[in-house]
Structure 1
Amino acid sequence: MPNNKLSICLLARNEAANIARALESVKNLADEIVVVVDQTTTDNTAQIAKKYTKKVFVKTHQEQFHVNKQIAINLAKNEWVLWLDADEKVSPALAKEIKRVLENPAYDGYEIPRKNLLFGKWMKYSNWYPDYQLRLFKKSQITFPCEHIHEHPEIDGQKAKLNHHLYHYNYQTISQFIDKLNRYTSADATYFAKQIHPPFTSQLIKRPFDEFLRRFFAFHGYKDGIHGLALALLQAFYELVVVLKVWELKKFDTTYEKKTLATVQTQTTTIAKDFYWWIKEVAINKAANPLQKLNLKVKRKIGL
Structure 2
Amino acid sequence: MPKITALAITLNEEENVKRYVQSLSFADEIIFIDSNSTDATVAIAKELGVTVIQRNFDDFSSQRSFAIQQAKNDWILFFDLDETISPELGKEIVSMISQNDFTSFYIKNDFFFMGKQIKHGGWQSKKSIKVFNKNFCKYNGDLVHENIETNGKIGVLKGRMAHHGYKNFDHYNNKLNLYSKLEAKTLYQKNIRPNFYHFFIRPMSFFMGRYLGRFGFLDGKEGFILSYVHTFAVFKRYLLLWLMYRKIE
1:192 and 2:183 are equivalent in the alignment: no
Please state whether the residue corresponding to 1:10 is helix, strand or coil. Answer: strand
Q: Which consecutive residues of structure 1, in runs of 5 or more, have no partner in the other structure?
A: 254-304
Q: CA RMSD in A?
A: 1.8
1:24 corresponds, among 15, 22, 25, to: 22
SS of alignment partner, residue 163 of structure 1:
strand
Tell me the residue number matched to 1:89. 84
For 1:15, the equivalent position in structure 2 comes to 13
- The 10-residue stretch of structure 1 (160-169 or 143-152) with the greater mean CA deviation from structure 2: 143-152
TM-score (norm 1): 0.76
> Counterparts of 1:271-282 in structure 2 under 5 Å?
none
2:84 partner letter: K
Q: Is the 8 A contact 2:103 2:132 kept in 1?
A: yes
**Number of paired residues?**
247
In structure 2, C-alpha distance between the alignment counterparts of 1:191 and 1:72, rounded to whole Å: 22
Select the residue among 67, 70, 77 that pairs with 1:72: 67
Gap runs ≥5 in structure 2: none
Q: Computing the radius of gyration over CA atoms, which structure comes out larger, 1 or 2?
A: 1
Tell me if the contact between 1:149 and 1:184 (Cα under 8 Å) persists in the aligned partners: yes
Counterpart CA distance in 2 for 1:6 and 1:171 is 29
Cross-structure match for 1:217: 212
Q: Separation in 1 of the partners of 2:144 and 2:57?
A: 11
Q: Which amino acid aligns with 1:41?
A: S
Whether 1:50 and 2:46 are equivalent positions in the alignment is yes
SS at match of 2:124: coil
Are residue 120 (structure 1) and residue 115 (structure 2) matched?
Answer: yes
Q: Aligned partners of 2:97, 2:142: CA distance in 1, in Å?
A: 31
Superposed displacement of residue 195, structure 1: 5.5
Distance of 1:203 and 1:22 partners within structure 2: 39
Calculate percent identity across the aligned residue pairs.
28
Conserved? CA contact 1:64–1:146, under 8 Å: no
**Looking at both structures, which has the greater relative contact order when contacts are Cα pairs under 8 Å and sequence separation is at least 6?**
2
**Residues 123 and 74 (structure 1 numbering): CA distance in 2 closer, same or farther, change over 3 Å?**
same
| Structure 2 counterparts to residues 238-253 of structure 1, below 5 A | 238-251=233-246
List, as ranges, runs of 4+ consecutive aligned residues in structure 1 with deviation greater than 4 Å. Answer: none
Q: How does 1:92-107 map to 2 (within 5 A)?
A: 92-107=87-102
Counterpart contact for 2:46–2:52, Cα < 8 Å: yes
